[in-house]
Structure 1
Amino acid sequence: MKTRIPLLLASAGVFALGACAQGGDPYATGAGTGTGAGMSRAQQGALAGAVVGGILGATRDHDKNGQGKDALKGAIVGAAIGGVGGAILDQQQKALQQSLNNPNIRVVNNGKYLTVVMPESTLFATDSAAVGAQGQNDLYTIARNLNQYPNSTIQVIGHTDSTGSAAYNQDLSERRARSVAGILTAGGVSSNRVSTAGRGASNPVASNETASGRAQNRRVEILIVPTG
């Protein structure tokens, strides 16, 4: 195995250089991803796939040649698979951003999945789990996108600020997640793809000591996780 490690690392390096040479991520600006500066998601996926595929190929070494040919084959196949997955995420993110006519909704590409962040103000009145008219329109737009990219699972997660009791906030976050999921399925998304959860005030993204911070914490996140 030791004799294959240099070739494996060299192969990964070749893929990394090739990816960087292709240019930066055209959708990185404002995406809030925080990863892979100078590389698109397709390029990041190709690099990750190359490394994983190379490791698997090296450990198997079917032809017993000891020269790392299986590692190189695995790296090539892994890069192709990873690159395709990353490209699909790039495309879906771009399509969502173009179709959603609401600047308050963010679509974040995390590399392995997308997160659609919808603040309370775009969906609900205070202390309500009933989605308003504009929020319904936005969710139907998201549902159309999900139907165009069917190879994913959808996790709808409700969040609140820390105002009120923990039990109340937990219940509200769960009801809000179910309301959002219900509209997605009404828009044609298979219920088998959709799951819901409430996190109450347990996962803040800002300080609950300020009004603006509490507003950021009151949100629903839609996680779009590719399945293949």
Structure 2
Amino acid sequence: MKTRIPLLLATAGALALTACAPQDQYGNTATAPGQGMNRAQQGAIAGAVVGGILGATRDKDKNGQGKDAIKGAIVGAAVGGVGGAILDQQQKALQQSLNNPNIRVVNNGNHLSVIMPESTLFATDSAAVGAQGQNDLYTIARNLTQYPNSTIQVVGHTDSTGSAAYNQDLSERRARSVAGILTAGGVASNRVSTTGRGASQPIASNDTAAGRAQNRRVEILIIPTR
């Protein structure tokens, strides 16, 4: 039976890779087998793979018949399916509540990314959030309080204009400003962390005005804790 366990896990792994269609940096899902599966289904398959691997390696009953692998796969599938369904629900709720078409909510499978361009939040070279941006952030904060089982990472990004030191400082100050409004909106401060990436993680070319505008952004990463 020992040879069957690796075969079982290899098959499950192949199914998981087939089910989880990749996304590009703009949140667009690439064409791939299994593309029609929702996040709950993808999470269930991924959970089954992880659970099966853990069960097979532990083999607590020492029977070598793969029963622990099967048990682990079942438990993993249940946990992964629930987690994927919750992310689907939260993404849908966010998209319905936000009235700003410039804000994108991307479901990455294991976390959500709320991508807010500079134009929705700040004036040029400023870290003070404008009135409309504050309204959007309070809307996001209400969603985060309704889905409390997650940690929040607020990440500031800039374009490459100016010095690296200036861009790093600006990205950090902008992340802190956004995080401050989220906590003012009711999100527990121990759930929220901030970081600035400066110009180090562009999502478009800095050679054009349109590309630089895309790079100037704040991303709110919503990462489930269970």
What is the one-letter code of the residue matched to 2:38? Answer: S
What residue in structure 1 maps to residue 5 of structure 2? 4
* Change in CA separation of 1:215 and 1:97 when aligned onto 2, cut-off 3 Å: same
> 1:3 touches 1:66 (CA, 8 Å); kept in 2?
no
Q: TM-score, length-normalised on structure 2?
A: 0.90
Within 5 A, what are the aligned runs for 1:175-194? Answer: 175-194=173-192
Unaligned runs of 5+ in 2: none
Of the three residues 139, 159, 162, the one matched with 2:160 is: 162
Answering whether residue 113 of structure 2 is matched by residue 115 of structure 1, we say: yes
Give the drift of 1:223: 0.4
Give the drift of 1:65: 2.5
Answering whether residue 32 of structure 2 is matched by residue 32 of structure 1, we say: no
- Tell me the secondary structure at the aligned position of residue 78 of structure 2: helix
> 2:13 touches 2:49 (CA, 8 Å); kept in 1?
no
> 1:15 touches 1:50 (CA, 8 Å); kept in 2?
no
Residue identity (%): 82
Answering whether residue 130 of structure 2 is matched by residue 129 of structure 1, we say: no
Residues 29-79 of structure 1, C-alpha deviations (whole Å, 9 max, x = no match): x95254862211111110011011111111122223222121111110110
Q: What is the rounded CA distance, in whole Å, between the counterparts of 2:134 and 2:29 in structure 1?
A: 26
* Change in CA separation of 1:14 and 1:67 when aligned onto 2, cut-off 3 Å: farther
* Change in CA separation of 1:103 and 1:138 when aligned onto 2, cut-off 3 Å: same
What residue in structure 2 maps to residue 69 of structure 1? 67
* Change in CA separation of 1:63 and 1:15 when aligned onto 2, cut-off 3 Å: farther
Q: What is the rounded CA distance, in whole Å, between the counterparts of 1:183 and 1:54 in structure 2?
A: 42
Q: What is the rounded CA distance, in whole Å, between the counterparts of 2:198 and 2:92 in structure 1?
A: 30
Q: What is the rounded CA distance, in whole Å, between the counterparts of 1:103 and 1:162 in structure 2?
A: 25
What residue in structure 1 maps to residue 219 of structure 2? 221
Give the drift of 1:124: 0.4
Q: How many residues in Structure 1 have an aligned counterpart in Structure 2?
A: 218
- Tell me the secondary structure at the aligned position of residue 131 of structure 1: coil
What residue in structure 2 maps to residue 208 of structure 1? 206
- Tell me the secondary structure at the aligned position of residue 122 of structure 1: helix
What residue in structure 2 maps to residue 59 of structure 1? 57
- Tell me the secondary structure at the aligned position of residue 193 of structure 2: strand
Unaligned runs of 5+ in 1: none
